[in-house]
Amino acid sequence: MSRQGTRGVDLRKVNGELFSLTYGALVAQLLKDYEDDEEVNKQLEKMGYNIGVRLIEDFLARSNVGRCNDFRETADVISKLAFKMYLGIQPVVSNWSAAGDEFSLLIENNPLTDFVELPPGHSQLNFSNILCGVLKAALEMVQMEVDVRFVQDTLKGDNITEIRLKFVKRLEDAVPVGED
Amino acid sequence: MSRQGTRGVDLRKVNGELFSLTYGALVAQLLKDYEDDEEVNKQLEKMGYNIGVRLIEDFLARSNVGRCNDFRETADVISKLAFKMYLGIQPVVSNWSAAGDEFSLLIENNPLTDFVELPPGHSQLNFSNILCGVLKAALEMVQMEVDVRFVQDTLKGDNITEIRLKFVKRLEDAVPVGED
């Protein structure tokens, strides 16, 4: 495996199909456990949160990115660096609110949903909801409280998958990750 | 994302850390659901089996590999092509039985176990047991019945992770995948 990481860190890659099938097994297990779509969404977000807390350190170490000056810069880093690095895709940043405190990530080929078709009767399931948790936690760890939610999903018949991020507030009460 | 697949197929890659953390969430969920290690092992193997059934088609399409002439060739394809392609590692093929019907895959850096420490009281858990299911199913789909099991695991304090494969019999009653 070639080493491509910055700062000599090995950027290990695994195959997207294997990832997608493994993630699918996780969602299927949760559907079996909880039955209710909203509860599964919550569990997925919680799992994503735990992952985001771990992943942000890895991301800061690899990307060598500094503190973002505004939410637009944050959006760019998420799309061009984070999604690219972890999922191999680069969502389009779009639909900014007039106040500049909300934007959407538009995803054309979501690697989590290769092979996936929602079973009937699960119209409330946000299959890839783990991503919301990851984003929420990762941003919280760099002192930004953000609301993250799915607003469109190709799995539900929408033309595109859209994740909406809304800036809530800057958190000031702790030392940001990577700046201690 | 660069395209490196044979036959023009996109070999999408995702980050190993994300994969490892997602797989960890799956195992943690199963431990919560089933409590008993042996039952979790079984569930992981079952999930792996379902994944292997899907993955073999993908593998045959991408690798363009033909039918193996013997079990030694099978071992080589598993290690040098399949593991390399899906997990980015190349296990050492070793410990052949005298009859040539059993061998081990020795894995030094198992991508499924980055970040992982077994919680106390789970000495029977084969954390990466999903791999046994994947291998069993994938080989079954090309007409080989094989027993697959973990015999060593660095997570349990062993020096290396070792998966043992034993050839059982050739299955003759169906058209092999990719040869219809």
Sorted by where each begins, the domain ranges of chain A are 14-170
pLDDT number for residue B12: 82
Rg of chain A in Å (alpha carbons):
16
Using the beta-carbon criterion (under 8 Å), do B22 and A21 form an inter-chain contact?
A: no
A2 compared with B109, residue with greater pLDDT: B109
Q: What's the pLDDT band for B7 if we cut at 50, 70, 90? A: very low
Do B166 and B101 contact (CB within 8 A), yes or no? yes
Lowest mean pLDDT among A30-39, B7-16, B139-148, B157-166: B7-16
Residues of chain A with pLDDT under 70: 1-11, 173-176, 179-180
* CA pair distance B148, B45, nearest whole angstrom: 10
Q: How far is CA A13 from CA A52, A86, A125, in A?
A: 18, 9, 28
Single out the residue of B140, B48, B15 nearest to residue A11, CA to CA. Answer: B15
Q: What does the alpha-carbon distance between residue A73 and residue A164 come to, in Å, rounded to a whole number?
A: 16
* Measured distance CA(A91)–CA(A165) in Å, rounded: 13
Q: What residue of B is the nearest CA neighbor of A128?
A: B22
**pLDDT value of residue B35:** 82
Selecting from B21, B25, B54 the residue whose C-beta is nearest the C-beta of A55 gives: B21
b/e map of B71-105 (b: 16 or more CB within 10 Å)?
beebbebbbebbbbbbbbbbbebeeeeeeeebbbb
Which helix H or strand E contains A40, and what residues bound it? helix A37-63
Cross-strand bridge partners of residue A145: A169
pLDDT, tens digit (0-9, with 9 covering 90-100), for B19-37: 999 999 999 999 999 989 9
Q: Between the CA of residue B45 and those of A35, A143, B25, what are the distances in Å?
A: 23, 40, 16
The residues facing A106 across adjacent strands are: A92, A162
Judged by CB atoms closer than 8 Å, whether chains meet at A26 and B26 is answered as: yes
Identity of the residue in B11, B22, B115 whose CB atom sits nearest the CB atom of A26: B22
Query: How high does pLDDT run on average in chain B?
Result: 91
- The mean per-residue pLDDT over the stretch B141-150 comes to 97
Percent of chain B whose predicted confidence (pLDDT) is above 90: 81
Interchain CB contact of A115 with B (< 8 Å): yes
- Say which range, A99-103, B3-7, B77-81, B162-166, has the weakest mean pLDDT: B3-7
d(CA B162, CA B104): 6
Distance to chain A for B98, nearest Cα, Å: 32
For residues A174 and B107, what is the distance between their CA atoms, to the nearest angstrom?
40
pLDDT at residue A176, rounded to an integer: 64
DSSP B109-160: S-GGGTT--PPTT-TT--TTTHHHHHHHHHHHHTTEEEEEEEEE-GGGT-SS
Hey, of B11, B21, B44, which one would you mutate to test binding to chain A, going by the most A CBs within 10 A of its CB?
Answer: B21
Nearest one of B97, B166, B165, B176 to B140, comparing CA atoms:
B176
A1/B88 CB distance under 8 A: yes
Q: Collapse the DSSP code of A107 into the 3-class scheme (helix H, G, I; strand E, B; otherwise coil) and give the result.
A: strand
Mean pLDDT calculated for residue range B142-153: 97
Kindly indicate the confidence band of residue B114, based on its pLDDT and cuts at 50, 70 and 90.
confident
Closest in B26, B30, B55 to A18, CB measured: B55
Measured between CB atoms, does A108 come within 8 Å of chain B? Answer: no
For domain A14-170, the CATH architecture is 2-Layer Sandwich (3.30)
pLDDT in the model for residue A9: 47
CB contact under 8 A, B13 and A12: no
Q: How close A175 gets to chain B, by Cα (Å)?
A: 24
User: B19 in contact with A at a CB cutoff of 8 Å?
Assistant: yes
Query: Around Cβ A176, how many Cβ atoms within 10 Å?
Result: 15
| Buried b / exposed e along B122-152 (16+ C-beta atoms within 10 A) | eeebbbbbbbbbbbbbbbbbbbbebebebeb
Average pLDDT over residues B42-47: 98
How far off is chain B from A24, nearest CA to CA, in Å?
A: 9
Distances (CA, A) of B11 to A20, B61, B114: 13, 11, 22
Q: Residue A17: its chain B contacts at CB < 8 A?
A: 12, 54-55, 58, 86
What is the distance between the alpha carbons of residues A165 and A144, in angstroms, rounded to a whole number? 11
Model confidence pLDDT, tens digit, residues A90-139: 999 999 999 999 999 999 999 999 889 998 999 999 999 999 999 999 99
Please answer yes or no on whether A22 and B17 come within 8 Å at the CB atom. no
Q: Closest by alpha carbon to B169, among B150, B148, B138, B143?
A: B143
Angle at A89 between CA A88 and CA A94, to 5 degrees: 155
Averaged pLDDT for residues B122-142? 97
Q: What's the pLDDT score for residue B10?
A: 57
